[in-house]
Structure 1
Amino acid sequence: MTQHLSRLVRIVVLCTLAISSTWGSMASAALAGKNVILVHGFQASDLSSNPNDAALQTQANNYWSSYWLNRAEEVLYWSSVDRVSGGIKDKIRSQVLAIARGTRCISGCVVVTHSTGDLVTRYMLRNVNNWLTSAGIDPNRFRILAVLDLAGAGGGTEIADLAVAIGNGSGFFNSLQRSAVELALGFRPDSNNLGVLYDLQPNTARNIATGNSAVPRLRFAGTGASYGGLTKPFIAGADDGVVPLHSACGASSKADYDSCSGSVSPNGVLQSVSAAPASLYFNNYVVLMGEQTNHGQAIDNSRSGNFTTVSNNRVLGGLNVDFDTFTQRKWWSFFRQVRWVRNGDSYSMSDNVFRTLN
């Protein structure tokens, strides 16, 4: 009898631990108690393989697997072979309607984007109410509280300008330019495989879904090197190897910027920065900059040095933005004050964001 009771107790304990573990993992998936939706960026492989929806979903999941996948409830997919207002719109719209027919975003969701996902999400927010009402769905069933844009390409990138020009054969290009584009894209572009690259040209991107949005966009930018720095000479101003700061900062105008802020550099030095945006898109807020964070490191789990804050100690879209920072003089800054996130270099950019906002 005692043995049976002991066995029963062990079973109850194990079941309790399993349930606790399950609830713990579910709880960790939410951000500040809100469900998370992921919107990925450009995927060059789409342009050659033109994958079906099942493959696109698998690729989208893989895109986020380094950090965000197990912290989200929805992963939207779209194909880079399409245009924002065409095939991309159609795929995003169908997925939004499916979410709205459920209950996942009735109490509000947070969207996390990377790279071109910034532009795709801007288009979605501009049109989502029309999509829902046209389908007979109450727009309150799909409430987006805030968007986190990591290395956002909403303002486009000069790499797309160069890729489109090379693909269409318009102009003379040296071997370094071709190598930079091929390295960034993974293939040599031609007129038949440009897809969303047309929309990523800065002058085009900056004319897509430009209306004001009530949803705050929290922006996280880096200026680290990708591809051994080969792409940097062909991008305007400081960049993360793929996206320029004029795009990642959410600047309202295109220019060669050295920082997202006129009062702090990406390395945290508190100083006057003349080459900084005079204004950002409506309801956009730069939160973090990482001098050593490159394009991919914005969403993976690798450490990339220290981070400095721009907008901090405020509530945006229900998210409490309160990064713990410290300021001290450094010899390498000629003893000017430097502001960094405390222990920020112990975590990746995404981990700093998730830990703080959660």
Structure 2
Amino acid sequence: MRTIKRLCVFTILLAMASLSQAKLAGKNVVLVHGFRASDIENRPSDSSLQSLANSYWSEYWNQSGRAEKVLYWSSAERVTGGIKDDIRRQLTGIANAGTCANGCVFVTHSTGDLVTRYAIRNLGAWGLSSKIKVLAVLDFAGAGGGTELADVAVGVSEGEGWVNSAQRSAIRTFLGFDPQRGQLGVLYDLQPSRARNLATANSGVPRMRFVGTGWQYAGATKPFLSGMDDSVVPLHSACGATTAGAYDTCDRNVANNGELKTVSKSPAGIWYNHFPVIMGEKTNHSGVINNDTGSEFTTVKNNFSRNGITVDFQTKTESKWWSWGTKVRWVRFNGQWGSRYNLSRVVYETLNN
């Protein structure tokens, strides 16, 4: 009997541990994935989209019960069309289940930033604002300001005269296929001129930004992006800059590699309630949410709290052999440099306190 009781207690403790892992700062986590080029080419069925969304986050955020809910949508659709319908239906289910009645933290990647911004803006119109409380959004490589790759993709699909072979090759590398006129789905919304005019009204929900400037696709896409970028999203978008521009950092007082110096190519302003938190010099577009390591991280805005989410990354500031006397600020995690860990783990375990 005593052994059975011990087994019962152990089982209960395991269940409690599992439940506690599904929280961030004590709140449920909802994941919103980013752009998936394969949706445009393959047009997956609605029944497949949830599985694809789960796989999208499988390396870190959808492991060990870190998320309570994974939302899905198709990149073959438009934000104000099919994407809106899918997200509204799923948010209605979340509202009815009471998942976010006491507050949720949304975590987005890439285009998920834009999709979530539109959804939050329309919670009231959808009759969900009293049942879904969004405390904060963690945007990884956020594409809320669009990407110039979308402009190039549209140009390639329409056969515009200014498109050259290098641009065609870059888009083919990025998408995995040649884009067709009128069949680019959410890429139309990701053109900077459109993204920056979609659901841009000020919001009371804080957006915490985590960005990178690493290389992906063998660098094929970088020449067509404005300023520094993660090979898909430029800093003007990922940082949350009020205007598009060729920026080298999220803040004029710190470079993307952590050097504490004045950087002239920096945003004049950041969108209301947007907070660039971390930059990873060698972190690429996928690396912000997977298990990639090897990139040092620097903080932009640190040591602040919003709606119960406390941002308090440990850092160390010192001169490096290559910095010529300039101080460099890098994140420390578990007593070591951040480069030993993937960015998402550093963020999750630091904010989950």
Name the TM tier (shorter chain): over 0.9
Counterpart check, 1:103 vs 2:108: no
* 253-262 vs 43-52, which moves further: 43-52
Tell me which amino acid in the other structure corresponds to 1:151: A
Matches within 5 A, 1:118-137: 118-132=113-127
Q: Residues 155 and 163 of structure 2 are in contact (CA less than 8 Å); yes or no, is this contact kept in structure 1?
A: no
Counterpart check, 1:348 vs 2:346: no
Counterpart check, 1:239 vs 2:233: no
The whole-number CA distance in structure 2 between the counterparts of 1:311 and 1:172 is 40
Counterpart check, 1:208 vs 2:198: yes
Q: Which of 12, 35, 52 is 1:19 aligned to?
A: 12
Which residue number corresponds to residue 107 of structure 2? 112
The whole-number CA distance in structure 1 between the counterparts of 2:106 and 2:9 is 33
Q: Residues 33 and 53 of structure 2 are in contact (CA less than 8 Å); yes or no, is this contact kept in structure 1?
A: yes
Q: Extract unaligned runs of 5+ from structure 2.
A: none
Q: Which of 254, 259, 268 is 1:269 aligned to?
A: 259
Tell me the secondary structure at the aligned position of residue 54 of structure 2: helix
Which residue number corresponds to residue 79 of structure 1? 74
State the TM-score, normalizing by the size of structure 2: 0.96
Which residue number corresponds to residue 35 of structure 1? 28
Which residue number corresponds to residue 4 of structure 1? none
Tell me the secondary structure at the aligned position of residue 215 of structure 1: coil
Q: Residues 146 and 218 of structure 1 are in contact (CA less than 8 Å); yes or no, is this contact kept in structure 2?
A: yes
Tell me the secondary structure at the aligned position of residue 298 of structure 1: coil
Q: Residues 232 and 241 of structure 1 are in contact (CA less than 8 Å); yes or no, is this contact kept in structure 2?
A: yes
Q: Extract unaligned runs of 5+ from structure 1.
A: 1-7
Larger radius of gyration: 1
1:332 to partner: Cα distance: 0.5
Counterpart check, 1:167 vs 2:157: yes
> Which one has a larger percent helix, Structure 1 or Structure 2?
1
Which residue number corresponds to residue 357 of structure 1? 351
Tell me the secondary structure at the aligned position of residue 87 of structure 1: helix
Tell me the secondary structure at the aligned position of residue 121 of structure 2: helix
1:173 to partner: Cα distance: 2.8
* 246-255 vs 344-353, which moves further: 344-353
Q: Which of 225, 242, 259 is 1:252 aligned to?
A: 242
Q: Which of 57, 71, 74 is 1:64 aligned to?
A: 57
Which residue number corresponds to residue 3 of structure 1? none
1:175 to partner: Cα distance: 2.4
Matches within 5 A, 1:168-187: 168-187=158-177
Tell me which amino acid in the other structure corresponds to 1:115: S
The whole-number CA distance in structure 1 between the counterparts of 2:115 and 2:44 is 19
Counterpart check, 1:325 vs 2:315: yes
Deviations 1:165-214 (A, max 9, x none): 00111224332211111111111101142011100001111010010000
Counterpart check, 1:158 vs 2:148: yes
Aligned residue-pair number: 346
Sequence identity (%): 55
Which residue number corresponds to residue 280 of structure 1? 270
Q: Residues 199 and 205 of structure 1 are in contact (CA less than 8 Å); yes or no, is this contact kept in structure 2?
A: yes
RMSD (Å) for aligned C-alpha atoms: 1.1
